[in-house]
A = this chain, B = another copy of it.
């Protein structure tokens, strides 16, 4: 993985690397119709409304949540593309060593002449 590839995935991981935000995303996903407004989400947390709004903004800016205003309420919905990107990231990773014999390799940087 190059530095550029890492720079693409890290914002998504950063957005999810918070207990409040990953629960927010889970709540939105499991909510009726796959969408929820702030007033649906806030009661699940012991946090103030601005804090919830802040976390939703982070998820939105990371591309994980879609935002839509309907009258007084703002509805958030998960964006499957972002979730799929995460799925593919981890689906590709562990295939490297499923049951390989793990041949001990000599270090290359410092040279094998130790």
Residues of B within 8 A of A48 (CB): none
Q: A1-38 toward B: CB 8 Å interface, digit per residue (1/0)?
A: 11100110110011011110011011101111111110
Size of interface on A: residues with Cβ below 8 Å to B: 61
* A contacts with B: majority SS: helix
Taken residue by residue from 94 to 114, chain A's Cβ proximity to chain B (1 for < 8 Å, 0 otherwise) reads as 101110101111011110001
A35 interface neighbour in B87, B94, B102, Cβ under 8 Å: B102
B102 contacts A33, CB within 8 Å? yes
* Chain B nearest CB, measured from A46 CB (Å): 10
Chain B residue at smallest Cβ distance from A11: B17
A40 at the binding interface (Cβ < 8 Å): yes
Contacts of A103 in B (CB 8 A): 32-33
Partner of A40 from the list B72, B96, B102, B108 (CB cut-off 8 Å) is: B108
- CB distance B3 to A102 under 8 Å? no
- Distance in Å from the Cβ of A13 to the closest Cβ of chain B? 4
